[in-house]
Structure 1
Amino acid sequence: MIVKTNYGGLWTIPQACALRDRGHVVVVICPPGGRLNARLAEAGIRTVASPFSFRFRPTPATLVQLWQLRRLVRRLRVQVLYHHLYAATLAARLATVGLPLARVQFVAGPAFLESRAVRVVERVLWRLDRVIICGTRYTSRRYGELGVPASRRPAVTSGLNLAWATADLPDDTAATRAEARAKARADLGLTPDQFVVIMVAYVYPPRKLAAHRNRAFKGHDVLLAAWQKFRSGHPDAVLMLVGGGSDEAGEEHRQDLVRRFGLADDPSVRWIDTADDVRSYYRAADLSVSPSLSEGHGAPPEAALLDVPSIVSDAGGLPETVDETCGWVVPRDDAVMLARALAHAHTEFRSGGLAERGVRARERSWQHFDNRISAVRMAEIVEYAAGIGGSPQEYAPPATGKVLAR
């Protein structure tokens, strides 16, 4: 495997373990240090420091590093090169042209496919991959538009560790979950009758992608604009934003949002910096919101594991995470429709129906986002790329949720 990060990319761990458990030798090439290397080591997966920095600058050093990566792949005698995240994909393709191996790409998020320039490049370069595993059906469709045959772009969600949601509890019963919810709200100073909305996401800075018009893709600004419309008629509501800046530029953007929307003087909005464990925040919430302009499956399946239904935008794979029984889909970048969906959810909160949506959301997440199953499906695809076994089946959510109409 090649991964460009040493901090994120944790979805690679169950995939690597599934391949190892099927008798294959697995080595992960990634930057040294960081959380990913530590977690892979805990799982017994070997890692090797990447000689390539994953920065594509027009300098001799870039060519030297790509050549060093090629030598490393040859020394490891790689038969299948399984690459994650687009910078790693480009590096894997360029460094191994002409080598007798199969390349398999896993696409965690579709943002790069929403760039016109990247689509022009991918229309040619996808042919270097034997299979492209698409983390969402949306991603698979986008690659289909570039000419990739359906058999070479299976949709398989990376999934979640289902046990994570209750791993810190003595048992997984309705009574225990209710007790944990009450404690979480009390610890945060929230009363039982307050309507609590949560958004869990890092704050990324605006990017120069034409598809997003130089906007930050997580959509914090859309939610904050909708919140101002919604909050004026719902004084019992509280919004928790969990997640700091993704980097220095992201933190600058977060501070700009705080100033622009006057959050320092708005007691209804709480912005919690990055938390290592978000379970207590989800337990305290009644509703999760994912207003992204571009996204894979994002936070909704995670929120659902803790009985929290979601409002999602129609961006990327987000509509695949809910249906009409457990959430709402609204047009992306539409604060008016998002405010209207918040009002619908608030009405159900008062009637008790929102909690029922949370139960159905949990059932859906258990059914469609189990990473134990998806990791095996991906291992089967890697084996298929290597000429072992037949074509595997997809493991992805069924029909997507319908967009809320005006």
Structure 2
Amino acid sequence: MIEEAPKTGRATSEGRAAERRLRVAVLLKTNAGGMWILPQVTELLRRGHEVVVILPAGDGRLTQELRRRGVAVAESPFDFRISPRTLHGLLGLRRLIRRLAPDVMHYHLLASAFAARFATFGMTLGRVHMVAGPLYLESPFIRRFERLLWRLDDVVICGCQHASDRYGELGCPPHRRPVATYGVDTDRHRPDWTAEATPNGVESIDWRAHADARAKARAELGVATDTFLVIMVAYVYPPIRLINRGRGIKGHDVLFPAWRRFSSQHPGARLLIIGGGWDAAGEIYRRQLIDQFGIAASPDITWLETVDDVRTWYAAADVSVSPSLGESHGAAVEAGAMAVPSIVSEAGGLPETVDERSGWVVPMDDAAALANALHLAYEDFEAGRLAERGRAARRLMEERFDNRRSAVAVAKTIEAVAASRRHG
């Protein structure tokens, strides 16, 4: 089933202005995740372009939200899996793209990139690949292919500087690997989100509203106001055989040993984990983690699988941890926007999300270093310095990671690719 707007005519009485109006097809391998494309789609529409988003069949969260906003959606004939029907699915995707006749294909996530490149091979259109996470570039097997296949993209927009550097190692020149973060909605994610919006969009945090939200959230958790509370927000993804030697990517298996070291010295501290298994395999892995580290028998650890609004729990927290083995910017940008300082690993783009005023960076896969960073955060907590770190984190998100500015950069890149195709 296809929901699409009619193709805008190129030679009409509307004049040359119509020539700048584009049709953009966005391809994504998931209809549930990927909500981070919404600001980009919104910006393209605001600029007068037509957008159709191609997603797997089904009524996932992303599909529902796009339809609610009146955005055209098309079901992908390709299911983004390798199977005996792969060629059939790719040919079906190619027919769909021909029918939609986009000026530019814009695709996110590696499976979408592979599908878009092969399905549009030989077509005269622009191709813009946006890298949500650079973890796949850690695989020598995948790098071998990507060293060749990136050349099919007009531009590889990198969601973090780390990804751009990795594509540079594969021979991609700087002008074809610009950086534009997926970012965070700094209006929605703000420490006083329960307060009324500030008139005229002037940034002014109501810290009293923040304190009230913090007290309410802690009361729901049964955590006292003087308790040091650490939060980790991340889905549990199943181990990937080709990457990280078959370990989960989010670093839960690093955090739990680090927490044991830390909590043995600070037994009153609490750890809050938010996030269930991303899929059935992810949930199996989550259960394995619970059994392996004895989480169910640990009164100092609370694990919430799914929450309606993560802002509530960030408001309760003193510090966020992202001990990932592979990441772009992850939860650290939401935490920072909520004025929560972060401890991040050196993996991927995570070090880009903090500075010396707003958080800590630790070596990847180093439980001892993570425990030490928790101790440093606890010292700041006791000394009353964490609040200023949180304010610094908020300022950093506003300056570098606001997703509206990122969406403008993405839209301009798409327009530039289309223009170069017209005039090339």
TM bucket normalised to smaller: over 0.9
Matched residue of 1:387: which SS? helix
Counterparts of 2:348 and 2:75, CA distance in 1: 32
Corresponding residue for residue 228 of structure 2: 195
Comparing 46-55 with 255-264, greater Cα deviation is found at 255-264
- Matches of 1:55 and 1:322 in 2, distance apart? 36
Contact 2:164 2:178 in 1 (8 A): yes
Deviates more, 1:296-305 or 1:158-167: 158-167
Aligned to 1:278: 310
Partner of 2:209: 176
CA contact (8 A) 1:17 1:43 kept: no
Q: Secondary structure at the match of 2:272?
A: strand
Instruction: Work out whether 1:80 is the aligned partner of 2:118.
Output: no
Match of 1:137 in 2: 161
**Other structure's SS at 1:325 match:** coil
When structure 1 is superposed on structure 2, of 319-328 and 10-19 the one drifting more is 10-19
For residues 68 and 250 of structure 1, the distance between their equivalents in structure 2, rounded to whole angstroms, comes to 30
- Post-superposition Cα deviations, 1:84-140, rounded to whole Å, max 9, x if no partner, equal 111111010001110111110010111111111110001111110000000000000
Amino acid at match of 2:62: L
Q: Which residue of 2 aligns with 1:24?
A: 49
Aligned positions of 1:5-404 closer than 5 A: 5-32=30-57, 33-57=59-83, 59=84, 61-165=85-189, 166-171=192-197, 172-210=205-243, 212-387=244-419
Stretches of 4+ moved more than 3 A in 1?
166-172
Structure 1 counterpart of 2:15: none
Q: What CA RMSD, in Å, does the superposition of the two structures yield over aligned residues?
A: 1.4
Give the C-alpha shift of residue 264 in structure 1.
Answer: 2.1
Rounded Cα–Cα distance in structure 2 between residues aligned with 1:89 and 1:31: 14
CA distance in 1, matches of 2:42, 2:419: 20
1:214-233 superposed Cα distances (whole Å, 9 cap, x missing partner): 11010001000000000001
What secondary structure sits across from 1:94 in the alignment? helix
Structure 1 position 247, deviation (Å): 1.6
Cα offset, 1:388, TM superposition: 6.1
Q: How much does 1:44 deviate? A: 2.2
| Structure 1 residues 290-348: Cα deviation after superposition (integer angstroms, max 9, x where no partner) | 00000010001101121110000000000000000000000010000000000000001
Aligned equivalents of 1:197, 1:252: Cα separation in 2: 24
Q: Gapped runs of 5+ residues in structure 2? A: 1-25, 198-204
Q: What displacement does 1:170 show?
A: 3.3
Give the paired residue count: 387
Kept in 1, the 8 Å contact 2:195–2:206? The answer is: no
1:2 counterpart residue number: 27
| Paired amino acid for 1:10 | M
Instruction: Indicate conservation of the 8 Å contact 2:329/2:353, yes or no.
Output: yes
Quick one: which amino acid aligns to residue 147 of structure 2? R
Shift of 1:11: 1.2
Contact 1:202 1:274 in 2 (8 A): no
Give 1:56 shift.
Answer: 2.3
What TM-score, normalized to structure 2?
0.89
Q: Secondary structure at the match of 1:276?
A: coil
> Aligned equivalents of 1:10 and 1:31: distance in 2?
14
> 1:30-86 CA distances to partner (integer Å, 9 max, x unpaired)?
1132111111122221011111111122x2x21111111111111111110101111
Give, in whole Å, the separation in 2 of the partners of 1:280 and 1:167: 9
Q: Which runs of 5+ in 1 are unaligned?
A: 390-406
One-letter amino acid of the structure 2 residue matched with residue 193 of structure 1:
D
| Paired residue secondary structure (2:299) | coil
Following TM superposition, by how much is the alpha carbon of 1:276 offset from its aligned partner in structure 2, in angstroms? 2.5
Q: CA deviation at 1:242?
A: 0.6
1:144 Cα deviation (Å)?
0.3
What percent identity do the matched residue pairs reach? 53
- 2:238/2:282 contact within 8 Å kept: yes
Is the contact between residue 89 and residue 105 of structure 1 (CA under 8 Å) also seen in structure 2?
yes
